[in-house]
Structure 1
Amino acid sequence: MNGIINFFKPKGMTSHDAVSLLRKTLKTKKIGHTGTLDPNASGVLPLCIGKGTRIAEYLLDSDKEYIGELTLGSRTDTQDIDGKIISSSNKIVSEEDIIKAMSRYIGDVSQLPPMYSALKHKGKKLYELAREGKTIERTPRNIRIYEQKVLNIEDCRKIIFYTKCSRGTYIRTLCDDIGMDLGTYGYMSYLLRVGAGSFKIESAYSIEHIRKLNLEEVSKIIVPMDKALDHLEAFIVPEELYSKLINGVVLQFNLMDEIKVNKLLRVYCKNIFIGIGKISRIDSQFYLKMDKVLII
């Protein structure tokens, strides 16, 4: 079994727990995830199986989609519902102001990573330091929010919203920032990841569903590596270069589409997915170098 399973992680399960659970269920050790999903969140968590673990790094950068709930009036130390309330406000905010504030967080945004995160400082995770009562100076990071929509507002206090964002975006920090922007406080009270790259919640499988399948049925729900990488453009190499290609020889071409230069590509030869490569240009010559050969 080699590829990706679109796993539905339930609330309360860590990403590491999901990997361990699937290892036991499928009786295979070679399983990894493509980026953590907070324990109090549920939804899409692509899990790499077998040789699929070798493409995890290429899936980490995929955009994410969420449906979340922002609750106004309180601020917590973890920026979510599981934290301790550290500030409160009775300010009433209008629906119009809420919608305007949400729309201001579309595009390139500078975001300060929360202390309660898996980021590391001198080899120690920030959330471990936070639990010790320590606060470490962090550097703001640039993220991008491609789309953000308010889906429902209840009593001008609870806001259900949809967000499509870049890798590394903390939705609970987004909720905290929007609360402050509105002149009150806010925390993330619910989070569902509905998409991670090409993996969508409609085609995600729960552990209960997977446990009912035999190995042949499991193999049918595993997404092939090249399909999981369909956000990368495909490049076809002539059949006579097959041997050189799989042995990592840099290939030279005279004519090349400029669009493909300096971008990661899915490389095929003889109708077989070979792996991931990148084309560079030196003067008028183009060179294809394999970044990773994945042929099974």
Structure 2
Amino acid sequence: MAMDGILNILKPPGMTSHDVVSCIRRLTGIKQCGHTGTLDPGAAGILPVCVGNATRVSEYVLEMDKTYRAQLSLGSATDTEDASGRVISKMEIPPLNESDISHILQQFVGRTSQVPPMYSAVRRDGVRLYELARRGETVSREPRQITIYRLKLLALAGNKLFFDVVCSRGTYIRTLCTDIAVRLGTCGHMSFLLRTAVGPFVLNNSYTLEEIAGLQDDGCLDTAFLPLDTALHQYPSFLATPAQAVSIIHGRAITSGADYPEGLPIRVYSTDGIMLAVAYQSEGMLKPKKVFITG
């Protein structure tokens, strides 16, 4: 049985994203597997894993917005910005109420810049920042543009804040926690993180690794796979005629008759509902970039 598609995995805390991919490779026997955005080892939550031909659409999942539930512990900062690190400073916590905190949180909503933490997979001169950090080195990092779409306080309990955040790719929630604590007049670190959604991949249709193993044992693992076009759900679709479908699967451009923005991925389907390719519009023509069905 050929297995191609996307597995919506619920990663447990204590595993790296690479550990999850390795587990999927063992269970499926397919080497061509890859995750679509690192989730910290201590964090839990949604980790879409592309298997087989679906690895060709992983870049589109990487670009999807992410949703998290986080806990910020105020009064102590760590070198990793999360609970796994060494405490490097402590500060008094000023009197806070939920109204004031909610007001501060709204100041983070919108497009802004964020400096990646030293304990991150960002490369500097070919070396991962976390490798430098483990050697006790600190280097300057270029700020990155991110977007916070929504930031909502859920609860304030003692020195802990609980909040939900919807953000763009590349947002470090650990760093967001640190920055929020500073804006509140103290220091802090992220003490819990759950990724609740990556685009359309959400908790209520996710699978634990144990559930995936059970499906494999029962011979019905194919039921867990989501189709490739789940990775492109947010983009327009084009229904090709049979003649156009032949051109597309042979890598030839076709006339679209539509005014799609240039640079926007377009899902191209056959008349029987099969996604043939991802194409881009240029000069009134749809030019296939990734063809999934070959002639």
TM range (shorter): over 0.9
Deviation for aligned residue 1:158: 0.4
Provide TM-score, normalisation by structure 1: 0.94
Provide TM-score, normalisation by structure 2: 0.94
| Two-structure CA RMSD over aligned residues (Å) | 1.3
Determine which of 241, 250, 268 is the counterpart of 2:253.
250
Determine which of 218, 221, 226 is the counterpart of 1:218.
221
Please list every run of at least 4 consecutive aligned residues from structure 1 whose deviation after the TM superposition is greater than 3 angstroms. Answer: 259-262
Q: Tell me the matched-pair count.
A: 289
Overall identity of the aligned pairs, in %: 43
User: Counterparts of 1:189-268 in structure 2 under 5 Å?
Assistant: 189-214=191-216, 216-253=219-256, 255-256=257-258, 258-268=259-269
Deviation for aligned residue 1:262: 3.2
CA shift digits 1:13-39 (9 cap, x unpaired) = 000000001111222211110011000
Match of 1:103 in 2: 106
State which drifts further: 132-141 or 259-268.
259-268
Match of 2:62 in 1: 60
Match of 1:140 in 2: 143
Q: Which amino acid aligns with 1:162?
A: D
Q: Which amino acid aligns with 2:287?
A: K
| CA distance in structure 1 between the partners assigned to 2:37 and 2:92 by the alignment | 37
Asked if structure 1 preserves the Cα contact closer than 8 Å seen for 2:119 and 2:130, the reply is yes
Deviation for aligned residue 1:53: 0.8
Determine which of 284, 287, 290 is the counterpart of 2:285.
287
Determine which of 156, 159, 162 is the counterpart of 1:160.
162
Deviation for aligned residue 1:48: 0.5
Asked if structure 1 preserves the Cα contact closer than 8 Å seen for 2:58 and 2:231, the reply is no
Q: Which runs of 5+ in 1 are unaligned?
A: none
User: Counterparts of 1:150-189 in structure 2 under 5 Å?
Assistant: 150-155=153-158, 157-189=159-191
Asked if structure 1 preserves the Cα contact closer than 8 Å seen for 2:114 and 2:146, the reply is yes
Match of 1:270 in 2: 271
Asked if structure 2 preserves the Cα contact closer than 8 Å seen for 1:152 and 1:160, the reply is yes
Asked if structure 1 preserves the Cα contact closer than 8 Å seen for 2:8 and 2:207, the reply is yes
Asked if structure 1 preserves the Cα contact closer than 8 Å seen for 2:45 and 2:203, the reply is yes
User: Counterparts of 1:24-103 in structure 2 under 5 Å?
Assistant: 24-95=26-97, 96-103=99-106
Deviation for aligned residue 1:252: 3.0
| CA distance in structure 2 between the partners assigned to 1:112 and 1:84 by the alignment | 20
Deviation for aligned residue 1:227: 2.7
